[in-house]
A and B are shown apart, each in its own frame.
Chain A
Amino acid sequence: SQQGEEDPQALSIQEGENATMNCSYKTSINNLQWYRQNSGRGLVHLILIRSNEREKHSGRLRVTLDTSKKSSSLLITASRAADTASYFCATALNQAGTALIFGKGTTLSVSS
């Protein structure tokens, strides 16, 4: 089953622009994570935000979490061609030991 919906499904921007991806989920969570996946490759963990946090930064990444709306956003600032990839949000439920449930993902294309 899938927990989250991301939008947009696809996003094309120019280098230097900011990219914003949104994720919505359905049930209460312990934390929400964002992953990147280059075409045909494995997952790269980007950032984890806990349910009691509202915003988190890591380098050019900014993640927000609104538990009242059950939504999160990932902002990539000053994008680069190397940021071209698929981005997934994944939610961890409150029950420890359960699997991460992934959203449908956003495919980001950054052209130079």
Chain B
Amino acid sequence: GAVVSQHPSRVICKSGTSVKIECRSLDFQATTMFWYRQFPKQSLMLMATSNEGSKATYEQGVEKDKFLINHASLTLSTLTVTSAHPEDSSFYICSARTSGNLSWEQYFGPGTRLTVT
């Protein structure tokens, strides 16, 4: 159990366009989802925390108007990279957490490779 999927697994887009990445919890309800970004040969950096039905909380230095996060249901969160630029090229990973006794468990998606040309 506790599977998180991401779609697409990789995407190439042109500079100036927007890209939407979906994160789904397949067999549990995720009250909280997290979005991370990982540049080549670096670690995962937390971008934002989203709770179902409320606005996302962004980490310092992450532009909320550029990285739009919507957590409209207990199984789906989306990250939209607006007006993408080559420097946004990165590996985006989501994770999901339940609200129950296993609230310390955080389940990760397989990641989405974004390349902006």
Contacts and interface: CB of A to CB of B under 8 A. Distances in A.
Interface in A36-83: 40-43, 45, 48
B44 A102 contact: yes
Contact of B59 (A1, A31, A40, A92): A1
Nearest to A6: B43
Interface residues of A, number: 23
B14 to A, nearest CB: 22
Nearest to A30: B104
A99 B46 contact: yes
B43 A2 contact: yes
Nearest to A45: B108
Contacts of B113: 40
B111 A41 contact: yes
B45 A96 contact: no
B78 interface: no
Nearest to B44: A102
State the main secondary structure of chain A at its contact with B.
Answer: loop
A31 B104 contact: yes
A97 B32 contact: yes
Contacts, number: 52
B43 A104 contact: yes
A88 interface: yes
A101 interface: yes
Nearest to A105: B43
Contacts of B93: 42-43
A88 B43 contact: yes
B71 to A, nearest CB: 13
Interface of B: 31-32, 34, 36, 41-46, 49, 59-60, 91, 93, 95, 97, 99, 103-104, 106, 108-111, 113
Given A43-B93, A43-B108, A88-B43, 12 more contacts: A2-B45, A31-B104, A42-B109, A42-B110, A88-B44, A96-B103, A96-B104, A97-B31, A97-B99, A99-B95, A100-B34, A100-B95
6 contacts: A31-B104, A96-B104, A97-B97, A97-B99, A101-B46, A102-B36
